Amino acid sequence: MRTKSPHLLSAACLLAFCGLASAYTVSGTVSDEQGQALKDVAVDLLKEGKSTTTDDQGKFTIHEEETIGLNATRNSVGYIGISNGILSYSQSSGAPVQVKIYDPLGNQVFKKTLQGSGTYDLSRAVKARGTYFAQVSVGNAKQNFKFTRNSSLAKEVAQGETIRFVAEGFDTLSVPLGTLDTTLDVKLKKTAPQFKFGYALKNDPTPSKGCGSASKLQKVKSVENGDQFQIKVGSDNRTYFITLPKNYDNTKPHKVLFALHCYGSNGEDFVHHAADYDHPTPYYGQQVLDKNGDYIFVSLDAIGGLWNKGQADHDFFAQTLTTLNENYCIDTSRVFITGFSYGAMFSYSLAQDMQNRVRAAATYAVADYNIWLPEGNAMKNLPIAWMNVHGVNDDRCDYNRAKNSALTRILKRNGKADENGDFTDASSEKPEEISGNTGHVCYDFKTVDERFPVKWCSWPGSHQWTAHDTGNMSVGWNWESTWVPEEVHKFFEQF
């Protein structure tokens, strides 16, 4: 039978002991999206009010030791104090320091007399892990407190606790914490530049309204390689075609390419057509290059084969694009247009009016006439990414007129932004051009804003979009040798 210890502590005595603020450690590493460590990132534990910064390796630690709520006590015979479980003591007389330790039931498990001055780790005075109570006295000064052995009590996290990471040039990141004992590996994203207009290169996709939903469009009929639809534009029923990738996913934002047909042709010709110098593959050769199914392809039908309805044709394009936004998952920041001859004129016209909806245009043999543009205040003085392929011997859409007028109009708006974010005039820069009867030259302008690139490709041919390096098609030419689709694909894929 166990004899009750004369040192057994009463419940009232235990309640009188000072409280314990438990320990915690929040640590981790901060890097950028490429995994490069970030130095001097400000790390703030908001509710705790503690801060630090990352070192050369991007590492940080916010640590709070287990602390005992015991004030230092000094009297005429000595001094005792507790910090982080370490007893500090000294005597100004011959009175020793008496240390007694009790388990949670009040049983004395340790007793020690200390002389002189020094420190003593109380957690090493007991063998088993757990919570203990100690009584320390020197002369007539006495203190009671609680401590733990080899196991810090995890501090309860405050409601809404958040750790925040702030670094210049990066988006601020805030991470909610469910515990204060944790290790984090975080990546900070570079802050996107604030532009008056346009997206940064390689911006994140901007999902359309139709993402996550099934299309409600009713097709008129299926055709080879796509479906035909109709839309009411003003008083006209307009026809268009859509080709979805075989692996279409309504949760993945897809890029969109509009193919605009040339004079005398129609929208269906660019959905499927027997191979020839005007139609080597569908959608101006772009569908075959879409290896991963990233694009939705669209072809519009002009009334009577001519893009000459002005505002009505622009409304047709805009309404069709809105219909795509609402019924399919598209990336609204990556809508592209392309066309040859009259289709190039219409593409160029849209590019001067739809800069807030079209990312880039690629034209083949554009002409700076038969182009409708809004007038007066309706004309948008905004940049657009543009590429043009033109034969220097074109006898229908004059090469020099396109170079000196259509190209100049684009360059006037596409110059690098100034300190106020306004685009400058880059029209003084002239392109390198083809010289001779073979080959081609594609020139990338250097003085334009990188977000609105301009590419000018010249070749020694006439009026056709399937440019090739052997000159006119009568001189050793075959349609399979055209380099245009791959150059255009690379131009679109830079965004």
Cα 217 to Cα 214, 220, 221, 229: the distances in Å are 9, 10, 12, 8
Query: Domain of 246: which CATH number?
Result: 3.40.50.1820
Whole-number Å distance between alpha carbons of 116 and 96: 7
Same domain, 243 and 120: no
Res 45: pLDDT: 93
E strands within 276-354? 295-300, 330-340
Q: Which two tokens stand for residue 304?
A: 């009577």
Same domain, 105 and 230: no
Residues forming beta bridges with residue 74, ordered by sequence position: 79
Same domain, 30 and 90: no
Same domain, 159 and 121: no
Same domain, 121 and 181: no
Same domain, 353 and 438: yes
Q: Is residue 358 part of a domain?
A: yes
Residues forming beta bridges with residue 114, ordered by sequence position: 97
Q: Is residue 212 part of a domain?
A: no
Same domain, 121 and 264: no
Angle, in degrees to the nearest 10, between helices 342-351 and 311-327: 70
Res 223: pLDDT: 98
Phi and psi at 165, nearest 5°, equal: -120, 125
Same domain, 141 and 159: no
Q: CB under 8 Å to 89, separation ≥6 — which residues? A: 78, 79, 80, 81, 97, 114, 117, 118, 119, 120, 136, 138
Same domain, 82 and 38: no
Query: Domain of 160: which CATH number?
Result: 2.60.40.1120
Per-10-residue mean pLDDT, the chain, length 495 = 37 36 80 95 93 95 60 55 70 79 84 84 71 79 69 66 93 91 91 84 95 96 98 97 97 97 94 83 94 98 95 97 98 98 96 96 92 73 96 96 96 92 95 93 97 97 88 56 95 98
Question: How many domains, in total, are found in the chain?
Answer: 3
Range of the structural domain that residue 144 is part of: 67-149
Res 361: pLDDT: 98
Residues forming beta bridges with residue 168, ordered by sequence position: none
Q: Measuring CA to CA, which residue among 181, 160, 188 is closest to residue 40?
A: 188
State the Cα angle at 90 between 85 and 91, rounded to 5°.
Answer: 145
| Residue whose token pair is 């250097």 | 446
The separation between CA 18 and the C-alpha centre of its own chain, rounded to angstroms, equals: 51
Tell me if 259 sits within 8 A of 250, measured CB to CB: no
Q: Is residue 408 part of a domain?
A: yes
Whole-number Å distance between alpha carbons of 408 and 427: 5
The separation between CA 22 and the C-alpha centre of its own chain, rounded to angstroms, equals: 39
